[in-house]
């Protein structure tokens, strides 16, 4: 009978006892009927036959019960006995137990920690009904992609796209919320009224708004916002809170699991029907009415059975209809969709790089666990050679091989469980330490590693898998019949040879895996070195940044906003330690940005060839404050606010593209359309990185923020001394001007752009961390096998020493083979790391995955540690007292 069937059977008696009892009864009833028939055939009357059959059968109930008890209780009992036996045997070998448990704890801790982190951003499915049937939709037109839609277009698509059972729309951004005292800035979503019903999201308190609430002043709070900002107020439903100065009634609180439809971005604190957008964000009036207000992102749910291809065809038809109905706006419109599983899906899935790093770290953690398992396996094998007599006796006494293996695997399981338990506190501490990997963000992100049921489940699966992985080989070897015969016939030599070969294979594979991980770690460290050494094009240190959004407060009209900035500029200027300050729509590398088409009179007429430049709006002294030098001309000055033709600053890349070979100063350009007002180039700035570290130089331009005001600005303040000292002073200064104005993301400029370094940093810290763990585990593995060799060859070493062998030759004898194997393994591992395409190219910055320095670095470190570990163990051999050893033997 197969093991699987037996397990199934036992599970059934344990978990479906009634069905099993029914089966037994059925079987016995058949028995009675057959017996009676047989008796009738022998000539008895049917009545009498039945009576006799029952009599000779005995008590049906009694035997049913006995039969049912025959296996599950035995199995349970046997298991408990095995556990007790295993515990006793582990207690008898404390140093072995400690070493094994520690190795497992390291592996398990690494895995639980990485899993909890990666799960929260990249694996965990959205907390919505059937997330797999959701797709994100976006518009394309010419070269432009990832376009949003207007509300009217959303309704058109909703009406005509039959492939979808429902489509929801949303737009997101910051709002100021006043619960009781001063307003706070939080991330909010304005959604279509069917958002919650279509996604299938329930409330943990009150109700979610639904169809019919499109223009109701109602708000749903996120669970996190409810607990932090409202102290989990149980009577919150019906409370009025103010959003950007408008009263809203709280109708419900979302479930703790639902944190929006994006996994790794800002997490919304509240949801508002999109019909209220015109009141909360008056500056973008017309979102519901104007076809050119294309701010909405769409998520659709496919009808059951509809394929992605069918949905695409459907959307193509819808786009064609739209282009026909509104040719001015929609000529060349395409509606694309991304399935939920597509990693680059911008609205449903986390950014690709983050997801890739996550997967890489998960792989790293699994490799560390693998190395740990090999260590334990090797320890177990060494222990088996000590326990050979015990095994031989048990087998000789008639224990089946199955029982012995079962017993040994129970011991392995116990070890794995102990290791997992030890790893829990480690996991908790490390999880908290992982906050350092979270970039400084303006709003709460979805990154929240936690020890929850999913991590527990993952841990249990790993524990069982690990115990089988490291326990099965040694258990099979120890229980093989040849152990017994081996004892008798060859004095154990044959078995030892088999065990030794197995251990040597373990050492080689361990070296392969750990040098592989170490090389990857080296690559990431080199990549981080490169990232840190890159000239970003502006001075990252010695400045402070923060964001203000007066546009979200209804009392800040244009005039009052101008006044606010004037007072603020004066206040900052009077702070000791401030060298200069400036405002911008956003700062480079802070993950915000936008592009503009640039038209010139003598430029290309074809739309596809019109250059697109990075856009920003900045005040005077912006370049001086940021530390980006001007190559030609000047930056904005206060008097530029009154010139007839607006000035524009462009960067060298754009200048060379538009006017190669001549000076750009005084030249004219227009943005977005050939008919928009002309701008005059007043300065050319040196290029810097705008969107990502190490990007290819992009064209960029800057307009005057004073003449193009924005609802949201980021300030950058250059300090004379330490920028950290400026932080409290700036907060106090703003509070003095307007205590109700939220200051968002106040921190150093380096923190402000930290998101640009995140993937490189977390990759370096994570992968190098695993490299070091792998190295430690491999070192203890090498130490272990060398020490084992010493113990096995004690007699031989004793004789050699007694005969006057030199210590160095004994060392070579003992350590040589293990060391040689290790170095072969390390070479293979390094070669694998260099040759196996792991998709590292896109994660590494300025470093080739075959970077010779990283390879050399890793190999040297590994070699040094391997030599140290094996020599440390082998030195014990030469310290042996030759005579005593010989006497012992």
Partner 1 sequence: MAQPVEVLQGTLDLLVLKALVLGPLHGWGISKRMRSLSNDVFQVHQGSLYPALYRLEDKGWVDSEWGESPDGRKAKLYRLTPQGRKAFAAEKANWRTFAATVELVLAAD
Give me the residues that bind partner 1 (CB under 8 A), please: 1, 6, 9-10, 23-24, 27-28, 30-31, 34-35, 38, 56-60, 62-64, 66-71, 74-75, 402
Contacts of 775 (CB under 8 A, 6+ apart): 514, 518, 861, 862, 865
- Specify whether the CB–CB gap between 388 and 492 falls below 8 A: yes
Nearer to partner 1, 28 or 692 (CB): 28
d(CA 689, CA 534): 10
Structure-block tokens of residue 763 = 């990759």
d(CA 759, CA 750): 15
Nearer to partner 1, 227 or 406 (CB): 406
Nearest to 595 by CA among 623, 621, 616, 569: 616
Q: How far is the CB of 485 from partner 1 (least distance, A)?
A: 17
Nearer to partner 1, 75 or 224 (CB): 75
Nearer to partner 1, 35 or 233 (CB): 35
Q: How far is the CB of 407 from partner 1 (least distance, A)?
A: 16
Q: Which residue shows structure tokens 């007694």?
A: 802
- Specify whether the CB–CB gap between 281 and 303 falls below 8 A: no
What is the tally of helices (H) and strands (E) in the chain? 27, 22
Q: How far is the CB of 65 from partner 1 (least distance, A)?
A: 9
Structure-block tokens of residue 804 = 């006057």
DSSP, residue by residue, 72-119: HHHHHHHHHHHHHHHHHHHHT-HHHHHHHHHHHHHHHHHHHHHHHHHI
Nearer to partner 1, 403 or 634 (CB): 403
Q: How far is the CB of 37 from partner 1 (least distance, A)?
A: 9
Per DSSP bridges, beta strands 270-273 and 184-191 are: parallel
Helix (H, G, I), strand (E, B) or coil at 7: helix
Nearer to partner 1, 7 or 836 (CB): 7
Q: Which residue shows structure tokens 């089988």?
A: 468
Nearer to partner 1, 34 or 732 (CB): 34
Nearer to partner 1, 27 or 555 (CB): 27
d(CA 348, CA 263): 7
- Specify whether the CB–CB gap between 534 and 781 falls below 8 A: no
d(CA 740, CA 743): 9
Nearest to 834 by CA among 535, 393, 464, 523: 523
Give whole-number Cα distances, 289 to 175, 277, 286, 294, 436, in Å. Answer: 22, 12, 5, 11, 45
Nearest to 339 by CA among 329, 347, 330: 347
Helix (H, G, I), strand (E, B) or coil at 667: coil
d(CA 756, CA 441): 11
Nearer to partner 1, 21 or 871 (CB): 21
Beta strands in 235-369 (DSSP E): 240-243, 246-254, 270-273, 297-302, 333-339
Nearer to partner 1, 43 or 234 (CB): 43
Q: How far is the CB of 10 from partner 1 (least distance, A)?
A: 8
Q: How far is the CB of 19 from partner 1 (least distance, A)?
A: 13
Nearer to partner 1, 72 or 798 (CB): 72
Structure-block tokens of residue 657 = 């593209």
What b/e readout covers 609-638, taking b as 16+ CB neighbours within 10 angstroms? ebbebbbbbbbbbbbebbbbeeebbebbee
Q: How far is the CB of 402 from partner 1 (least distance, A)?
A: 7
> In residues, how long is the chain?
889
Q: How far is the CB of 408 from partner 1 (least distance, A)?
A: 18
d(CA 770, CA 430): 13
Nearer to partner 1, 54 or 817 (CB): 54
- Specify whether the CB–CB gap between 777 and 103 falls below 8 A: yes
**Burial (0-12, 13-18, 19+ Cβ within 10 Å), 402:** exposed
d(CA 181, CA 155): 39
Helix (H, G, I), strand (E, B) or coil at 595: strand
Nearer to partner 1, 56 or 594 (CB): 56
Q: How far is the CB of 5 from partner 1 (least distance, A)?
A: 8
Classify residue 254 as left (phi > 0), alpha (psi -120 to 50) or beta: beta
Nearest to 778 by CA among 575, 466, 476, 506: 506
Nearer to partner 1, 312 or 401 (CB): 401
Nearer to partner 1, 79 or 864 (CB): 79
Nearer to partner 1, 78 or 496 (CB): 78
Q: How far is the CB of 4 from partner 1 (least distance, A)?
A: 12
Q: How far is the CB of 476 from partner 1 (least distance, A)?
A: 17
Q: How far is the CB of 804 from partner 1 (least distance, A)?
A: 55
Q: How far is the CB of 478 from partner 1 (least distance, A)?
A: 20
């Amino acid at each position: 009978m197969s093991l699987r069937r037996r397990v199934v059977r036992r599970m059934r008696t344990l978990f479906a006892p009634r069905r099993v009892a029914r089966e037994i009864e059925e079987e016995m009833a058949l028995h009675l009927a057959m017996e009676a028939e047989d008796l009738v055939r022998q000539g008895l009357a049917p009545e009498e036959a039945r009576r006799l059959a029952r009599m000779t059968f005995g008590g049906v109930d009694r035997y049913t019960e006995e039969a049912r008890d025959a296996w599950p209780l035995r199995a349970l009992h046997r298991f408990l006995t095995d556990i007790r036996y295993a515990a006793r045997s582990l207690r008898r070998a404390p140093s072995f137990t400690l070493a094994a448990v520690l190795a497992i704890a390291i592996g398990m801790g690494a895995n639980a920690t990485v899993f909890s982190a990666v799960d929260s951003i990249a694996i965990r499915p959205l907390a919505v009904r059937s997330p797999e049937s959701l797709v994100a939709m976006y518009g394309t037109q010419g070269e432009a992609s990832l376009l949003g839609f207007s509300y009217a277009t959303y309704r058109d698509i909703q009406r005509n796209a039959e492939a979808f059972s429902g489509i929801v729309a949303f737009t997101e951004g910051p709002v100021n919320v006043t619960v009781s005292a001063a307003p706070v800035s939080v991330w909010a979503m304005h959604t279509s009224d069917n958002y919650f019903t279509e996604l299938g999201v329930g409330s943990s308190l009150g109700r979610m708004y639904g169809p019919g609430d499109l223009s109701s002043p109602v708000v749903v709070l996120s669970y996190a916002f409810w607990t932090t900002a409202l102290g989990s107020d149980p009577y919150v439903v019906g409370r009025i809170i103010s959003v950007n100065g408008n009263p809203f009634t709280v109708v419900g609180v979302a479930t703790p699991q639902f944190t929006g439809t994006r996994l790794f971005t800002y997490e919304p604190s509240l949801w508002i029907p999109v019909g209220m957008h015109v009141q909360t964000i008056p500056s973008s009036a017309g979102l519901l009415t104007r076809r050119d207000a294309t701010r909405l992102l769409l998520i659709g749910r496919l009808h059951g059975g509809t394929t992605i291809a069918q949905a695409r065809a459907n959307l193509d038809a819808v786009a064609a209809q739209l282009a026909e109905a509104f040719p001015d706006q929609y000529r060349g419109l395409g509606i694309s969709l991304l399935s939920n599983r597509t990693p680059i899906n911008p609205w449903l899935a986390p950014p690709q790089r983050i997801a890739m790093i996550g997967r890489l770290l998960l792989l790293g953690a699994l490799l560390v666990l693998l190395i740990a398992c090999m260590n334990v396996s090797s320890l177990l094998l060494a222990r088996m050679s000590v326990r050979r007599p015990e095994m031989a006796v048990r087998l000789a006494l008639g224990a089946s091989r199955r029982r012995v293996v079962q017993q040994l695997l129970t011991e392995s399981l116990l070890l794995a469980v102990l290791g997992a338990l030890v790893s829990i506190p480690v996991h908790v501490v490390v999880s908290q330490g992982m906050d350092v990997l979270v970039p400084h963000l303006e709003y709460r992100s979805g990154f929240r590693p936690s020890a929850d049921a999913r991590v527990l489940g993952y841990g249990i699966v790993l524990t069982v898998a690990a115990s089988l992985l490291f326990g099965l080989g040694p258990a099979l070897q120890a229980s093989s019949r040849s152990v017994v015969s081996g004892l008798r016939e060859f004095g154990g030599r044959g078995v030892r040879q088999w065990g030794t070969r197995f251990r040597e294979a373990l050492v080689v594979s361990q070296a392969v895996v750990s040098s592989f991980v170490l090389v990857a770690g080296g690559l990431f460290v080199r990549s981080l070195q490169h990232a840190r050494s890159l000239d970003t094009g502006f001075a990252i240190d010695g400045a402070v940044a923060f964001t203000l959004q007066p546009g979200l407060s209804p009392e800040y009209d244009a005039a009052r906003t101008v006044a606010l900035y004037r007072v603020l500029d004066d206040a900052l200027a009077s702070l000791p330690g401030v060298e200069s300050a400036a405002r911008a729509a956003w700062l480079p590398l802070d993950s915000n940005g936008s592009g503009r088409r640039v038209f010139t009179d003598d430029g290309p007429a074809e739309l596809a060839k019109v250059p697109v430049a990075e856009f920003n709006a900045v005040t005077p002294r912006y370049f001086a404050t940021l530390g980006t030098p001007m190559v030609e001309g000047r930056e904005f000055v206060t008097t530029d606010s009154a010139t007839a033709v607006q000035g524009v600053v462009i960067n060298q890349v754009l200048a060379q593209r538009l006017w190669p070979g001549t000076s750009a100063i005084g030249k004219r350009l227009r943005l977005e359309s050939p008919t928009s007002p002309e701008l005059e180039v007043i300065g050319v700035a040196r290029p810097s990185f705008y969107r990502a570290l190490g990007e290819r130089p992009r064209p960029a331009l800057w307009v005057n923020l004073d003449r193009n005001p924005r609802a949201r600005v980021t300030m950058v303040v250059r300090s004379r001394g330490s920028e950290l000292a400026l932080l409290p002073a700036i907060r106090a200064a703003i509070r003095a001007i307007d205590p109700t104005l939220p200051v968002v993301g106040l921190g150093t400029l380096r923190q402000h752009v930290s998101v640009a370094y995140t993937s490189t940093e977390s990759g370096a810290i994570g992968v190098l961390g695993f490299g070091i763990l792998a190295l430690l585990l491999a070192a203890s593995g090498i130490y272990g096998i060398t020490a084992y060799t010493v113990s096995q060859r004690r007699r031989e070493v004793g004789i050699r020493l007694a005969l006057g062998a030199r210590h160095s030759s004994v060392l070579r004898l003992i350590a040589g083979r293990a060391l040689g194997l290790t170095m072969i393994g390390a070479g293979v591992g390094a070669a694998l790391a260099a040759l196996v395409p792991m998709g590292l190219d896109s994660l590494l910055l300025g470093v080739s995955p075959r970077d010779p320095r990283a390879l050399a670095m890793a190999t040297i470190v590994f070699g040094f540690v391997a030599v140290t570990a094996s020599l440390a163990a082998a030195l014990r051999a030469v310290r042996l007292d030759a005579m005593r050893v010989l006497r012992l033997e």
